């Protein structure tokens, strides 16, 4: 099956893509394009999947620059092709001005966010779950890109497939964390059943990007939870009591 790659006009002409699970070599609960080396999937299948992604990005698999994602606001500046022996940096965003490097982010409900200033030749990729977004990973990515020569006027950002509000039920403690930072965060919640709330993660992401003053931003409007044929979802897997879940990959390169 052919890979399915979602793209955005905002990131044109740079090669980029939010890859769905279609077209991969994994089977069982991981069926499709599982690119998570940390999953319990067969390693050979994951490496085949990552090689297919690299080929679609017109690069070798070794050019994929990944992260050990920890739900932080930490950013790594990548200035060379990754070394096979090197450990992945414990960060949740990467930026580069080095041609040939393919910045990659893995997600399964959290926001994959791709950034570009095509004129300046600077790109970025962020893993933005609720904690990282609240703690400022998107703003930190922008600031790191500015140090490489990007400008706010030239920067665009696109949020890829992520969990939508209708599928993201949370409890009162979660709501309280947001209120403790800013009472204005109430606009990202809707009332659910009983004391449950429905949280709008992509709305939070877009609000933070727009407040940062960059040129343009958008969400592709794909919900990972509600489309199991195309997307992996940590929350859907949890509700189904499955043992593990696949990881989607999103990439960008100069």
pTM: 0.97
Q: Inform me whether the pLDDT recorded for 59 exceeds 80.
A: yes
For 237-250, write each residue's pLDDT tens digit: 999 999 999 999 99
- Cα-based distances in Å from 237 to 6, 70, 72, 109, 232: 23, 20, 23, 11, 8
What mean pLDDT do residues 40-63 have? 97
Domain boundaries, the chain: 5-164+219-253
What mean pLDDT do residues 112-127 have? 98
Q: CB–CB of 150/140 below 8 Å? A: no
Q: Inform me whether the pLDDT recorded for 1 exceeds 70.
A: no
Mean pLDDT of the chain: 97
Q: Inform me whether the pLDDT recorded for 44 exceeds 70.
A: yes
DSSP assignment string, the chain: ----EE--GGGTTSEEEEE-STT-SB-GGG-B----TTSSS-HHHHHHHHHHHHHHTTS-GGGEE-----SS--EEEE-SPPPTTSPPPS-SEEEE--TT-EEEEEESSSEEEEEEETTTTEEEEEEE-HHHHHHTHHHHHHHHHHHTT--TTT-EEEE-SB--GGG-EE-HHHHHHHHHH-GGGGGGEEE-STT-EEE-HHHHHHHHHHHTT-SEEEE---BSTT-TTT---HHHHHHHT-S----EEEEEE-
Q: Which residues contact 58 (CB under 8 A, 6 or more apart)?
A: 15, 253
Phi, psi (rounded to 5 degrees) for 177 = -60, -40
What mean pLDDT do residues 5-15 have? 97
What mean pLDDT do residues 33-47 have? 96
Q: Inform me whether the pLDDT recorded for 112 exceeds 70.
A: yes
Task: For residue 86, name the pLDDT band (cuts at 50, 70, 90).
Answer: confident
- How far is Cα 89 from Cα 157, in angstroms, rounded to an integer? 22
Q: Taking Cα atoms as reference points, which of 118, 92, 128, 123 lies closest to residue 13?
A: 118
What mean pLDDT do residues 107-128 have? 98
Q: Inform me whether the pLDDT recorded for 85 exceeds 90.
A: no
- CATH class for the domain made up of 5-164+219-253: alpha beta
What integer pLDDT is reported at residue 7 of this predicted model?
Answer: 98
What integer pLDDT is reported at residue 84 of this predicted model?
Answer: 78
Q: For 65-74, 79-88, 161-170, which range has the lowest pLDDT when averaged over its residues?
A: 79-88
For 203-237, write each residue's pLDDT tens digit: 999 999 999 999 999 999 999 999 999 999 999 99
Q: Which residues contact 183 (CB under 8 A, 6 or more apart)?
A: none
What mean pLDDT do residues 36-57 have? 97
């Amino acid at each position: 099956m052919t890979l399915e790659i979602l793209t955005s006009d905002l990131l044109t002409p740079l090669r980029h893509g939010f890859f769905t699970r279609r077209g991969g070599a994994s089977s069982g609960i991981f069926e499709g394009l599982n690119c998570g080396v940390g999953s319990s999937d067969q390693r050979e299948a994951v490496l085949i999947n990552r090689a297919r992604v690299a080929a679609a990005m017109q690069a070798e698999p070794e050019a994929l620059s990944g992260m050990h994602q920890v739900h932080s606001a930490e950013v790594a500046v990548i200035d060379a092709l990754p070394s096979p022996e090197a450990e992945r940096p414990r960060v949740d965003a990467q930026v580069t001005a080095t041609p040939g490097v393919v910045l990659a982010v893995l997600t399964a409900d959290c926001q994959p966010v791709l950034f570009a200033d095509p004129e300046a030749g600077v790109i970025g990729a962020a893993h933005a779950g609720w904690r990282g977004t609240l703690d400022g990973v998107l703003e930190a990515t922008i600031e790191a890109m500015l140090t490489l020569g990007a400008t706010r006027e030239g920067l665009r950002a696109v949020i890829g497939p992520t969990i939508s509000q209708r599928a993201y039920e949370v409890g009162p403690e979660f709501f309280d964390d947001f209120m403790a930072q800013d009472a204005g965060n109430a606009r990202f919640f809707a009332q659910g059943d009983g004391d449950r709330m429905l949280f709008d993660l992509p709305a939070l992401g877009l609000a933070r990007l727009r407040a940062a003053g960059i040129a343009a931003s958008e969400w592709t409007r794909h919900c990972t939870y509600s489309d199991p044929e195309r997307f992996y979802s940590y929350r859907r897997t949890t509700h189904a009591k499955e043992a593990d879940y696949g990881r989607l990959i999103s990439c960008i390169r100069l």
